[in-house]
Amino acid sequence: MEAAIILVFAVGYLAITLEHSIKIDKLVPALVMMAICWALIAFGIETFPQWFDSGKHTLLEGFGGFSLDEKMHLMEETLLHHLGKTAEILVFLLGAMTIVEIIDYFDGFSTIKNFVKTKNKTKILWIFSILAFILSAIIDNLTATIVLISILQKIVKDRNVRIWYAGLIIIAANAGGAWSPIGDVTTTMLWIGKKVTTGHLIGYLFVPSLLCMVVPSLIASFLPAFKGDLEMEETADKPKSKFSSTMLYLGLGAIVFVPIFKMATHLPPYVGMMLSLGIVAVFAEIYSSSKFSMTQYGAEESDAHAHHSPVHYSLSKIELPSILFFLGILMAVAALESLGILFNFARTLEETMPMLGTELHHSGVSDIVVLLLGVGSAVIDNVPLVAASLGMFHEPIDNELWHFIAYSAGTGGSMLVIGSAAGVVAMGMEKIDFFWYLRKISWLALVGFLVGAVAFMFTRTLF
C-alpha cells in the first residue's frame, strides 16, 4: 500500500510540473492526489507497521501492535492536526491577499507607478529590481510580482522588452521573499512551524538575499536588452481615488504589523493578519462611503465598485485556486509524513550523502543536500519541498539548517519560470515561453543563487 501511495504522489507531482503541457490547472492534481493518498491510508491503516507522531516529530513506538480502532482514531487525529497547521497558512494568505486587493481597489499602487520618471532602461531595471526586493518582503513575492508587472504593463509598450524586466522581477521578488517571514509561502511555513524567528531570519538571510538580487541585476545591466532608452506610454493619469496613497501605506503597514503582533502576543500569525485585515477593512468602508458621496453627482462608478463594498469586492478577486493548491499539496505531503516515509528518507539521506562543503554547526545535514533542495525547488514547487523538510529534519528553532532551507527553497525556484509562484504568475501575465526563460534568465538566477549561498556560509558564522 505504501508503494501505491508513493506512486499516486509521484504521478500527481508530475501532473503539477507539466501543468502547461497537459492544460490542467495544478490545483486539480494537487487535490486529487491529496484525497487519494489519505483514502489509501484509511484502507490500509491496519497493515502499516509505523506511524509518525507530528507533535513530537518522531516515529510512534509500538504502532504495529495497536488495534484497528486505535489506529483509525490516531489517523483521524493526525489528519485534523495537519489540517489545522495547513489552515493557519491558508487563513494567513487569505488575509494578506485581501488586504492587497483592497489597496488595489483604491488604486493605491498607482502611487508607486508615479515614482518612475526616467526612460533609461538600466535605471528602470534597478528601480523595479529594488522595488521587487523590498515589496516582496512586505506583501510576499507572489503579490509583489503581480503588482510590479501590472505597473510595468502601463509603462513599457514593447512586450519583447517587458519580458526581460519580468524575468529580473521574478529573481528579485524571490530573493526579497526569502529574508522576510511574510515574504514567501515557504518562509511563512518555517516561521509558523516555529523553525525560524524574525530577527534571526533577517540576520542570516538579508545579505545573501540582497546579493542574490544585486548580482543578476548588475550582470543584466550590461546586456543589450537593457541598453538605451524606452519608448514609454504617457502616465499622466492621476490616481482614481484621493485615498490611494493613504490606503497603500495603511495596507502595507498593517501587513508589516503582523510579525510585531506575533512577537508581542506569541499568538499564531494568522490572528494578527485577521486583526490587520479588520482594521484595513474599517478604513476601506469609511473611505468608500466618502468616495461615493463625493462622486454620486459626478462621474459614475463602475458596477463592480457601485454594488459591492470594498471588502466584498476584494474577497471576490483573491486567488482561490492558489489557496486550494496549497491545501492539496500540503495535505498530500502530510500523508507521506504520517507514514514515516519522509522520516526514513531523511535518515537515509543523512547516512548516504557525502558531507560536502562546510558542515552546518549543529546539524548532520550537509550543505550540498540543502543546495540540491534549492535546485529541486526550480523543477518542482518549493512548497511541498519545504513541507517535506519539516518532516525530514528535526533541528531546533533558528538552527542554521532552517535558514539555509529558507534561502535555497525561496531563491532556487527562480532558475525555472515554473519553479516559483512569482514565476508562474509572471508567465501567465506576460505569456513568457518556458524555453525563452531557460535560455535568457535561468543562468542569471543560477549565478545569483550560488553567490547568495556562498554569502550565507559566511553570515551564519556570525551567529
- Residue 118 backbone dihedrals phi, psi, to 5 degrees: -85, 160
Closest listed residue to residue 30, CA positions, set 11, 7, 53: 11
Backbone phi and psi for residue 232, each to the nearest 5 degrees, phi listed first: -100, 145
Tell me which residue of 309, 247, 236, 283 sits closest to 106, measured CA to CA. Answer: 247
Nearest CA-CA partner of 312 in 102, 138, 119 = 102
Alpha helices (runs of H) in 307-420, residue ranges in sequence order: 310-317, 320-338, 341-352, 367-379, 382-392, 400-412
Cα end-to-end span (Å), the chain: 45
Listed in sequence order, the residues at least 6 apart from 279 whose beta carbon sits closer than 8 Å to its beta carbon are: 254
pLDDT for position 118: 79
| pLDDT for res 31 | 93
CA separation (Å) from 89 to 186, 292, 389, 390, 428?
10, 35, 16, 14, 24
> Please, how many CA atoms are within 13 Å of residue 1, restricted to the half-sphere of its CB?
18
456: left (phi over 0), alpha (psi -120 to 50) or beta: alpha
What pLDDT tens digit does each residue of the chain (463 aa) get?
888 999 998 898 788 777 777 888 878 998 999 999 999 999 988 888 888 877 666 777 778 788 888 889 889 988 998 899 889 888 988 888 898 889 888 888 777 777 777 788 899 999 999 999 998 998 778 878 888 887 888 788 788 889 999 999 999 999 999 999 888 888 888 888 888 988 899 989 999 999 999 999 999 999 998 888 877 555 455 546 678 889 989 998 898 888 788 878 988 889 999 999 999 999 999 988 765 544 444 444 444 454 568 888 888 888 788 788 888 888 988 888 888 877 776 667 666 655 443 444 444 457 888 888 888 888 766 776 787 777 677 788 888 889 999 999 899 989 988 778 788 778 777 878 778 888 999 999 999 999 999 999 888 877 6
What backbone phi and psi angles, to 5 degrees, belong to 307? -110, 5
Closest CA to 190 of 20, 387, 368: 387
DSSP track, 183-242: TSHHHHHHHHTTS--HHHHHHHHHHHHHHHHHHHHHHHTTSGGG-SB--BPP--PPPSST
Looking at this protein, which amino acid is placed at residue 284? A
DSSP state of 462: G
pLDDT at site 152: 86
Q: Is 228 left (phi over 0), alpha (psi -120 to 50) or beta?
A: left
- How far CA 53 is from CA of 71, 212, 266, 352, 397, in Å, comes to 12, 37, 24, 25, 18
User: Grid coordinates 494568522 are at which residue?
Assistant: 270
Which residue do the cell numbers 500527481 mark? 12
The per-residue pLDDT for 132 is 93
Angle, nearest 10°, between helix axes 159-178 and 442-459?
20
Reduced to 3 states (helix: H, G, I; strand: E, B; else coil), residue 431 is: coil
Do 267 and 90 touch, CB atoms closer than 8 A? no
Q: Assign 53 to helix, strand or coil.
A: strand
Helices 159-178 and 121-139, interaxial angle, to 10°? 40
Report the b/e string of 295-314 with b at 16+ CB within 10 A. eeeeeeeeeebeeeebbebb
d(CA 133, CA 141) in angstroms, rounded, equals: 8
> Per-residue DSSP letters for 398-414?
T-HHHHHHHHHHHHHGG
Are residues 276 and 99 in contact, defined by beta-carbon separation less than 8 angstroms?
yes
